[in-house]
Amino acid sequence: MGCADENVLSWCRGYVKAIIDELRPAGDVLEVGYGRGIAAAHIQNCKPKSHIIIEPDRDLAEKARKWAKSHPGVTVVEEPWQKALAKLKTFDAIFFNENSFENEIGAMLWLNREAATLASRSAQEVVSEIEGELALAKIHYSDNEIDEFCDKMLKTHKDEFARFFSGMKRRGNITDKQYEHILQKYKIKKEDAKIASFDFKKHAASLFLFIQECLKSHVNKGGRISCFLIDATSKYEDPQFFQNFITNPAINFTEKLVPIKMKDASKVEPGLVVVVEKL
Ligand SMILES: C[S@@+](CC[C@H](N)C(=O)[O-])C[C@H]1O[C@@H](n2cnc3c(N)ncnc32)[C@H](O)[C@@H]1O
């Protein structure tokens, strides 16, 4: 599904552009997560020597390969980074975005356009709030709306599908009958609903591991890493980041809060742009 809401989409686009502008990718570039190809296009505008995209989703990897045909120097690796990275060499610039953040927030916004706001508070708080509002609003969805939504959601959001719809049933947004129908139609097992919700800690841990691995074996001297961050809280407040990267004398760490315009240009939400540079 991706950023379903126009405001969120516009924020995502603006934020990704701000990150790539700051990263200034040149030389050999690695990108993790193709998604809609927004970052890939910005990276290509910087004319890198080579550009490897890691994308494990078969459909998205196919889209990336199609796009790569008109962009010489781009190679697509269809694997999760956890598998692909060890086989790759070193890079001058790395952009990391494996987040399904767009999907989680986007899904909720899509279902609850009126109530949703993308706040600058922690994303976890925002998700709980929107879920709460969904419950309070007692919105009920028709079979058609659900079918349209399922089709979109299944494409990029398989892992959270069962949990999400179990929540919809619990909150009364869909009936028991509609829930059973969804499980049957999309061959989803009820146990899958127990899969944890979008886990911000898991994503932070994954980002940390990724940067650590890259610094160890995949970044050239002077090479730079940046990433899409779900939460605009300063990385100085993240003890793991602080101890391992920010205070590491072999690393130059910078961060800045950039105001990102929403589609409705009167609204601005911040995005945190960080760069980890190997000295
Ligand atoms: C938010 S999208 C990326 C957006 C993209 N960078 C852009 O600017 O348009 C996240 C992408 O990461 C991919 N992804 C998820 N887990 C991954 C993993 N373990 N390794 C690499 N990519 C992953 C998803 O399939 C999805 O395409």
206 inside domain:
yes
Residues near 32 by beta carbon (within 8 Å), at least 6 away in sequence: 53, 54, 81, 94, 95, 96, 97, 98, 210
pLDDT, position 120: 36
The 10s digit of each residue's pLDDT in 110-160 is 444 444 444 334 445 555 666 666 665 666 778 888 887 777 666 655 666
Helix, strand, coil tally for the chain in percent (to 5): 50, 20, 30
Residues near 246 by beta carbon (within 8 Å), at least 6 away in sequence: 235, 236, 253
Task: Identify the band that residue 176 occupies on the pLDDT scale cut at 50, 70 and 90.
Answer: confident
Same domain, 94 and 38: yes
Same domain, 115 and 183: yes
CA separation, residue 195 to residues 36, 111, 165, 203, 258 (Å):
26, 21, 12, 15, 34
φ, ψ of residue 188 in degrees (nearest 5): -105, 135
Same domain, 139 and 54: no
Mean per-residue pLDDT of the chain: 82
Ligand 1 centre distance from Cα of residue 35 (Å)? 5
Same domain, 212 and 82: yes
Distance CA 142, CA 157 (A): 21
63 inside domain:
yes
CB-based burial of residue 189 (10 Å sphere; 0-12 exposed, 13-18 middle, 19+ buried)?
exposed
Q: Ligand 1 within 6 A of 102 CB?
A: yes
223 inside domain:
yes
Among 194, 220, 237, where does a domain finish? 194
The 10s digit of each residue's pLDDT in 165-175 is 777 777 677 88
162 inside domain:
yes
1 inside domain:
no
Distance CA 168, CA 162 (A): 10
Q: Ligand 1 within 6 A of 210 CB?
A: no
Ligand 1 centre distance from Cα of residue 154 (Å)? 15
* Atom of ligand 1 lying closest to residue 38 CA: 9
Q: What is the mean pLDDT of residues 232-246?
A: 92
The 10s digit of each residue's pLDDT in 77-110 is 999 999 999 999 999 999 999 976 555 455 444 4
70 inside domain:
yes
Same domain, 93 and 211: yes
Domains held by the chain: number: 2
Among 149, 174, 194, where does a domain finish? 194
Q: What is the mean pLDDT of residues 242-262?
A: 94
Could you give the maximum distance between any two Cα atoms of the chain, in Å? Answer: 59
Probe target for ligand 1 pocket from 57, 65, 98, with the most ligand atoms within 8 Å of CB: 98
**Which residue's CA is the nearest one to ligand 1's atom 19?**
80
Q: What is the CATH number of the domain that holds 23?
A: 3.40.50.150
Same domain, 127 and 181: yes
Q: Ligand 1 within 6 A of 149 CB?
A: no
The 10s digit of each residue's pLDDT in 67-85 is 999 999 999 999 999 999 9
34: which DSSP letter? Answer: -
The 10s digit of each residue's pLDDT in 21-61 is 999 999 999 999 999 999 999 999 999 999 999 999 999 99
Same domain, 250 and 237: yes
Q: Ligand 1 within 6 A of 60 CB?
A: yes
Same domain, 144 and 78: no
Same domain, 46 and 157: no
Of 15-24, 175-184, 253-262, least confident by mean pLDDT is 175-184
38 inside domain:
yes
Q: Ligand 1 within 6 A of 97 CB?
A: yes
Distance CA 277, CA 279 (A): 6
Closest CA to 4 of 156, 199, 120, 144: 156
Q: How far is CA 52 from the centre of its chain?
A: 18
Query: What residue ranges in 98-218 does DSSP mark as E strands?
Result: none
Same domain, 108 and 94: no
Tokens of residue 4, six digits: 């379903």
Closest CA to 197 of 152, 154, 159, 155: 159
Same domain, 25 and 95: yes
65 inside domain:
yes
Determine the structural domain holding residue 139 and report its residue range. 102-194
